[in-house]
Structure 1
Amino acid sequence: MNSEITYKILKMVALILLFSYALDKVVFFSFNKMSDKVMTGQAIGKLNHFLSKKDSADFIVFGNSRANRHIDVDLFSTNGFNMGTDGVGIAYNSALISTLPIKSKQLILVHIDTKNFFDNDYDGSDITALKTKYQRNDDITKALKESGQLSVLQKFYSSINYNGNAIGIIKNFLRPSYNFHNYNGYDPIIVSEMQASMRDQVLSKADTPQECKDDHKVNKVALHYLESIAAFIDITPHKTFLFVTSPLYNDSCDIDNIKLNNIMQNLGLTYWDFSNLYKDEKNNAYWKDATHMTKNGAEAFSTYLSQQYKEKILK
């Protein structure tokens, strides 16, 4: 009797697992079909747009929100794309860089923030923002597998990869946020008159010098991904890679800047640190807050950066 009950229970469990697996595949393939048509929004649209342009664009920007908000690609190329994405770090960007065509001639600008390299808590989990392409893009799948960030369930139940993105995907599928044909990935910040007074108060506090309290130990995960990018550069001789830190309102501690610069030199990477480019030029119209520039500031910086590129790289 006990064996018969056990058999029935096991059979029921097997049927439930089989049903859940089948349902998972139905949901997964349905979202695949839908998401492939989405070209707007940060849930998946911008990633799809990048993947459609990465082989043909001659200038591409990678980085976080500061890359997205600070670098106007039109000042460098009429065929460029800014893949800066809110909240990501070097793990995410390393995975995307690995998808680039090996033999194509391109200028690749990688925005670097020193905090990633000296943040003890950084674990590279930002790469999981690419999970919707797991088992769908070979390079991204390889990067995700090597990251160790995927759960066991994600490897069996594919629809889990859409968790957290489903609503954004459906929304942009039904009603695109913008005309992606006219979008180059650059999202400048506009500060209203009402926001300006609050901004000025925030900046007045940010102008106070801060002590260097952190131990500034290099984060091994961040360094690993930087080394991965350096290894990719070695096999792509037709590309020009430029690593840049964009301006901050006031960066009063330069220990991390010096250490990062040394790391870049040791890896043979071209790195330009503009953290304090506008330190002595207190033009609040350039700033939304202490780390993000407005459209005015971003275009001034992009113009300057473009000039530096022409003078130092294209000379």
Structure 2
Amino acid sequence: MNTRIIKELIKVVTMTIILSFVIDKIVFHTLNWISDKVYTGQSIGKLNQFLQIKDSKEVLVFGNSRANHHIDVKILGKSAYNMGVDGTGIAYSSALLNTLEKGTKQLIIVHIDTKNFFDNSYDGSDIKGLKIKYNRNEKITSFLNSSGHISIIQSFYKSLNYNGKVIGIIKNFYKPNYDYKTYNGYDPLFVNESDEKARDFILKIEDDHNCERKYQVNEIAMDYLKKIKVISESSKKQYLFITSPIYNDKCKKDNDILKEIMKQQNLQYIDYTDFFKGNNNNQFWKDKTHMTQSGAEKFTNELLKQVQFASKTN
């Protein structure tokens, strides 16, 4: 291959790279402009609303779907917001907790799920749900960089951080599905009358519990718990860690280990797993791990007692 052809190839490659950077920059800033105006939906809206109101609320709730659907924050007070997000874990919550102003007094309720702590497959990749704020929010960017879930390519081609989110963002940009100004983050679950028999059948099925297995703490989950502890110790906030109810927990070994971990870390923790034991009702349940609105209301009223006690001692 002669020198002239090589020079031409280098020129074409260089122009292609430059063009790709230009296109990426245009797409990135366009998506930023659109997403910043979206305040509904879990693609970006709930996160945008949280970042806007997070330091003005007296009570904040963090966690996965069992926080999102189980804690009716209007029962906890007028100044409360539920930042529970389906499909997330302790990594996602940790990053959001790091965005809070340390000097603001608040009660922070963090839902801890045993599946994070004893699931060998948990890798903290749920934190990638925040990549949409990568290079846009300093504190979230810092957490993402330390997580190991951001590639070098994403640092250069920033629009890649919107992958999987664009349709949801555009949909909520043009047609918001609720009034975010009245939204407190809590998403109740319901069971239609036609689905009650199927639900009741599922609840009757006996789960295959292996309580004899060794419950080994997931190191990644433990590391994020320690990060939350550091965050809590450097702020004026009061932290309450909880595990919400499930329909029927026949194995308590994991619960006992988690309680001991929280005790060793000197973190205030309440295990509500068996809250409905002895006084259960299928109407409280969507499935074995998620409560309906009626179950959530009953549970949140019990949680309110702890919140009121925390407020008195704060």
- The 1-side partners of 2:195 and 2:305 are apart by 31
Q: Per the alignment, do residues 203 and 154 of structure 1 end up closer, same or farther by CA in structure 2, a change over 3 Å counting?
A: same
The answer as to 2:298 corresponding to 1:300 is: yes
Corresponding residue for 1:216? 215
Contact 1:189/1:293 (8 A) holds in 2:
yes
Contact 1:211/1:252 (8 A) holds in 2:
no
- The 2-side partners of 1:258 and 1:302 are apart by 23
- The 2-side partners of 1:126 and 1:52 are apart by 22
The alpha carbon displacement at 1:215 in A equals 2.2
The alpha carbon displacement at 1:177 in A equals 1.2
Offset from partner CA, 1:114-161 (integer Å, 9 cap, x none): 010010000000000000100100100000000010112111100000
- The 1-side partners of 2:50 and 2:225 are apart by 21
The answer as to 2:267 corresponding to 1:254 is: no
Q: TM-score, normalised by structure 1?
A: 0.97
The alpha carbon displacement at 1:252 in A equals 0.8
The alpha carbon displacement at 1:313 in A equals 5.9
- The 1-side partners of 2:199 and 2:266 are apart by 39
- The 2-side partners of 1:196 and 1:266 are apart by 42
Q: Per the alignment, do residues 311 and 102 of structure 1 end up closer, same or farther by CA in structure 2, a change over 3 Å counting?
A: closer
The one-letter code matched in structure 2 to 1:270 is Q
Corresponding residue for 2:12? 12
Alignment of 1:168-179 (within 5 A): 168-179=168-179
- The 1-side partners of 2:311 and 2:59 are apart by 14
Q: Per the alignment, do residues 154 and 176 of structure 1 end up closer, same or farther by CA in structure 2, a change over 3 Å counting?
A: same
Root mean square deviation of aligned Cα: 1.2
Corresponding residue for 1:165? 165
Offset from partner CA, 1:83-136 (integer Å, 9 cap, x none): 000000000000000000110010100001101001000000000000010010
Q: Per the alignment, do residues 252 and 18 of structure 1 end up closer, same or farther by CA in structure 2, a change over 3 Å counting?
A: same
Alignment of 1:98-109 (within 5 A): 98-109=98-109
3-state DSSP class of the match of 1:110? strand
Corresponding residue for 1:188? 188
Q: TM-score, normalised by structure 2?
A: 0.97
3-state DSSP class of the match of 1:314? helix
Offset from partner CA, 1:187-246 (integer Å, 9 cap, x none): 01111111111000000114x67331542100000000000000011111x211000000
- The 2-side partners of 1:309 and 1:134 are apart by 34
Alignment of 1:16-95 (within 5 A): 16-95=16-95
Offset from partner CA, 1:47-100 (integer Å, 9 cap, x none): 000000111111110000010000011111201110000000000000000000
- The 1-side partners of 2:238 and 2:307 are apart by 11
Unmatched 5+ stretches in structure 2: none
The one-letter code matched in structure 2 to 1:22 is V
The one-letter code matched in structure 2 to 1:112 is I
The alpha carbon displacement at 1:311 in A equals 3.9
Q: Across the two proteins, how many residue pairs are aligned to each other?
A: 313
The one-letter code matched in structure 2 to 1:40 is T
Contact 1:209/1:252 (8 A) holds in 2:
no
Contact 1:38/1:45 (8 A) holds in 2:
yes
Contact 1:264/1:271 (8 A) holds in 2:
yes
Q: Which moved more, 1:209-218 or 1:287-296?
A: 209-218
- The 1-side partners of 2:279 and 2:209 are apart by 19
The one-letter code matched in structure 2 to 1:303 is N
Contact 2:76/2:307 (8 A) holds in 1:
no
The alpha carbon displacement at 1:3 in A equals 1.7
The alpha carbon displacement at 1:7 in A equals 1.1
- The 2-side partners of 1:213 and 1:289 are apart by 25
Corresponding residue for 1:125? 125
- The 1-side partners of 2:196 and 2:299 are apart by 20
After the TM superposition, which parts of structure 1 deviate over 4 Å for at least 4 consecutive aligned residues? none
3-state DSSP class of the match of 2:185? coil
Unmatched 5+ stretches in structure 1: none
Corresponding residue for 2:224? 225
Contact 1:73/1:80 (8 A) holds in 2:
yes
- The 1-side partners of 2:36 and 2:310 are apart by 40
Contact 1:59/1:108 (8 A) holds in 2:
yes
The alpha carbon displacement at 1:312 in A equals 6.1
